[in-house]
């Protein structure tokens, strides 16, 4: 009987020592963060009646605000909410895009576009996208185009996490993220018209930050914050000559999920773009 009691005591002490802590402690609660990165905007390639095989574009965009404030929830850990918003997202007000659209098939194209903006106090490549475009004419000179692709975007996220009631831990993440997008564009292409209208509606997800922390013995846990963006982009086109098309428009960016208590219901931008039809 004494031997059995000793075995029970030994096993109790052993399992208490090895598993008593339940592995690593849970991730620290998120307090607030400051993001710096571009607000994603899908490319704008219009479907024209021309038989050109290559389209080159250059676009200059201006945003009406330099920051977006609100509350975010971090998946994977607790989020501490206070009277103040826990997110300040600094976005470049001016960006320059350039891209190419290739048509290897009659109604399908492949494209890529690069973005340059001021990030971390320096002008640099902030991201790019690539994908497939599918287009058709509903009627003569009434065109529709569907684009699907992936965005590659740089984002810096400086955050604070609560250690205890009086101590915060600072963490800075400078990383690149890949997110999907889809857009649908309607436009007219009457050569006898001075200007032709267009409208594009698009959806994209965007990652503000993502990091992996230790969760339990031999395991990890992902902490991240993602948002969804809907964009409506109307505008007009003016044909200078056979190979040059001027595009002027504006966009309203809406963030329906991912950020609450937004400082603005939408973020507005205006742009001028030139397409070379080769």
140 has pLDDT over 80: yes
Confirm if 161 and 30 have CB atoms less than 8 A apart. Answer: yes
How would residue 18 be classed by pLDDT, with cut points 50, 70 and 90? very low
CATH number (1.25.10, 3.30.420, 3.40.710, 2.40.160) of 25-277 reads: 2.40.160
In the chain, the N- to C-terminal Cα span, in Å, equals 93
Determine the number of helices (DSSP H) and then strands (DSSP E) in the chain. Answer: 1, 13
131 has pLDDT over 90: yes
How would residue 223 be classed by pLDDT, with cut points 50, 70 and 90? confident
61 has pLDDT over 90: yes
The pLDDT of residue 141 is 87
- Within 13 Å of residue 244, how many CA atoms lie on the same side as its CB? 4
217 has pLDDT over 60: no
Residue bearing the bigger pLDDT, 242 or 133: 133
């Amino acid at each position: 009987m004494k031997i059995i009691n000793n075995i029970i005591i030994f096993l109790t002490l052993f399992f208490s020592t090895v598993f008593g802590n339940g592995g690593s402690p849970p991730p620290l609660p998120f307090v607030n963060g400051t993001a710096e990165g571009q607000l994603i905007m899908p490319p704008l390639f219009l479907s024209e009646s021309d038989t050109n095989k290559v389209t080159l574009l250059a676009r200059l965009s201006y945003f009406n605000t330099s920051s977006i404030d609100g509350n975010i929830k971090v998946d994977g850990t607790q989020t501490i909410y206070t009277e103040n918003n826990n997110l300040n997202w600094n976005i470049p007000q001016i960006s320059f895009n350039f891209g190419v659209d290739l048509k290897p098939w009659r109604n399908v194209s492949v494209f890529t576009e690069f973005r340059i903006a001021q990030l971390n106090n320096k002008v640099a490549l902030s991201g790019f996208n690539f994908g497939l475009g599918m287009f058709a004419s509903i009627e003569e000179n009434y065109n529709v185009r569907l684009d699907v692709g992936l965005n590659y975007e740089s984002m810096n996220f400086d955050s604070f996490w609560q250690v205890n009631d009086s101590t915060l831990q600072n963490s800075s993440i400078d990383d690149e993220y890949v997110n999907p997008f889809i857009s649908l564009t309607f436009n007219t292409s009457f050569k006898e018209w001075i200007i032709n209208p267009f409208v594009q509606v698009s959806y994209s997800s965007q990652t503000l930050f993502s990091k992996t922390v230790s969760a339990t013995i031999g395991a990890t846990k992902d902490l991240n914050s993602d948002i969804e963006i809907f964009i409506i982009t109307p505008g007009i086109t003016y044909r200078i000559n056979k190979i040059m098309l001027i595009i002027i428009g504006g966009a309203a960016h809406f963030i329906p999920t991912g950020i609450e208590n937004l400082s603005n219901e939408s973020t507005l931008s205006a742009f001028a773009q030139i397409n070379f039809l080769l």
